[in-house]
Amino acid sequence: MKSKKLLYIGISAVVALLILFVGINYLKGINLFHTSNYYFVSYESVTGLNVSAPVTANGFKVGQVREMNYEYDNPGHVRVELALDTELKVPEGTVAVLGTDLLGTATIMLEMPKSTTYAAVGSQLPGRLAGGLMDNVQSDLMPILPKVDSLITALTTVVTDPSLAAALGRLDAISADLNLLSANLASATKPLPGVVNKASGTMDNLAQMSTRLDSLSATLNQLPLNQTMDNVEAISQNLKQLTVQLQEPNSTLGLMLNDRGLYDNLNATVNSLDSLLVDIKANPKRYISIKVF
């Protein structure tokens, strides 16, 4: 009877230990009942990396860190065991990149090339340490820091320059003068009663002038302007024809203007008439006979 109790106690202890072992691994994220393919990676530093840390491919979790051991036969390196899904085929040349996030938690990312040949299960994959966020920030900011320092020095020099304070004082004075000028303009542009009355009278005069202009326009519209313009156009055509005839040497008017002989004859006739008149005045009895009965 006593031996049966001891047997039950032993069986219970084994079951409890087994449950404790499975529970601890489950809390670590290790599923003992799930088969996996194991690969190994060697890193110089595994800062922030813990057992059961996720292993991702293209951002999707395909496994986890199974175990980590220091390589005493290769000082300065830590051997990391990866447990990957059995459905995942790891191409040759796959690199396991160890990176950390903002909180310092490390994860392993598989960079898998396009290849038709695959690494054997249990083989060692090449590893690489990815630069952390702070490392990238430091590498980006280090070249800028000297320029920022120079800029701060220049700004300090400008701010502490006495001429800047004097310029600001002058700006304050200019602002006060502008405010005074604005107030004077506002008071000067206030409408005065006399000015309003004159403006009202001017508007009345303009209205009367507009009425007269409308009356003048109506009167002009009643005039026979079209007939007058037709007469003017007819006179213009007649003058044009007269000008053409004067310029034509074979026309009557053209011959009168352009014939030299006619001009000489007319000139001789005029001279003869002039001589005749002079002789009549000198000897009237020769031409006029007066008889007395």
User: Tell me, what's the pLDDT at 126?
Assistant: 94
Per residue in 107-143, pLDDT (tens digit) is 999 999 998 899 999 999 999 998 655 555 555 666 6
pLDDT greater than 80 at residue 80: yes
Give 247's contacts (C-beta < 8 A, 6+ positions apart).
254
pLDDT band at 35 (very low <50, low <70, confident <90, very high): confident
- CA angle centred on 111, ends 106 and 112, rounded to 5°: 145
Extract the tokens encoding 271: 């001279």
* More confident site: 195 or 260: 260
* More confident site: 286 or 97: 97
